[in-house]
Amino acid sequence: MPQRSSLNWNFPITVEELVALGQVNIVNKSCCDIQASLQRVGIADLANKRLDALSGGQQQRALLAKTLVQKASVFLLDEPCASLDPPSSAQFLRIVRQLAESGLTIVVSSHDWGKALNAYDKVITLDQTVLAFGTPDEVRSKLETINSMGNHCCG
C-alpha cells in the first residue's frame, strides 16, 4: 500500500476503478473480488464515488482495498495512518487488526509512537539499527530505558 504523497489526487478515478488496479497483473480478474475487498474494509457503498470526494480515512481504506484485492498472504502498508485524524486512524487500525486476525500477515511502517502501537502483535523499532523488538509493551519499556540513558533516539 503506497504512501499518500505518491498519488496524484486530482486524477479522475472511482473507488471501484482504483481497487481494480490491484488486479492489473492478475490474469483471472473478477469484479466479485473487488466487491469483496471493498466490503472487507467497509466501504462497499462508496464504490462509485470519485476517490478525491472521500474523506482521508475513507481514501486510506480504498487504498487498502486495492492492496487486498491482490490476494497475497503478506501485505506491506507504508505509513497508512500518516495525515489521518485520530478517529480515522483508530478506525483504520481496527480494520488492519481484523484483517490480521483473519489470517493475513500485515507489515506496517509507521512513525506513530502513541497508543497506535497497541494495534500490532510485534513491533520493531529502527534507527539505523534495530533498537527494540517485541510486543508493544516490551518495545515501549525498552525505548523508555534508552531515552532515560540520554539517547533521545525516538523523539
Partner 1 sequence: MAILIGIICPATGAVLITHRRLLQANLISHSVVPGIVLALAIGVDPSIGGVLSGLIGAIVAEQLASKRNGEQDAIINTVLAGTLGFGVLLLPLLEMRVDLESILFGDLLAVGSADLIRTLISGTSLLILLKTSYQKLVYLGLDPEGAAASGLNISSLRLLLGFVTAMVVVSSMAAVGVILVIGLLSAPALFGLYQAPSLHSAIVRSAGFGIIFSFTGFLLSIIFNLSPGPLIGFLCLCSLPFTRE
CB nearer to partner 1: pick between 13 and 44: 13
CB nearer to partner 1: pick between 1 and 117: 1
Instruction: Establish if 18 lies at the interface with partner 1 (CB under 8 A).
Output: yes
Grid cell in block for residue 77: 502498508
Contact 65, 38 (CB under 8 A): yes
- Residues 25-44 within binding reach of partner 1 (CB under 8 A): 25
In the complex, the smallest distance separating the C-beta of residue 127 from partner 1, rounded to whole angstroms, is 25
Cell of 86: 485520530
> Is 6 a binder of partner 1 (CB under 8 A)?
yes
Cα distances from 66 to residues 22, 41, 137, 150, in angstroms, run 5, 10, 32, 43
- Nearest-approach distance from CB 43 to partner 1, in angstroms: 16
* Grid-cell match 464504490, residue found: 47
| Residue 50 DSSP code | B
Mark 69-98 with x for binding to partner 1 (rule: CB under 8 A) and - for no binding: ------------------------------
Q: Is residue 54 at the binding interface for partner 1, with CB under 8 A as the rule? A: no
Nearest C-alpha neighbor of 141 from the set 53, 31, 154 = 154
> How many helices and strands (H and E) does the chain possess?
5, 4
3-state secondary structure of 112: coil
CB of 17 to partner 1, least distance (A): 6
| Binding positions for partner 1, rule: CB under 8 A | 2, 6-8, 10-14, 17-18, 20-21, 24-25, 48, 50
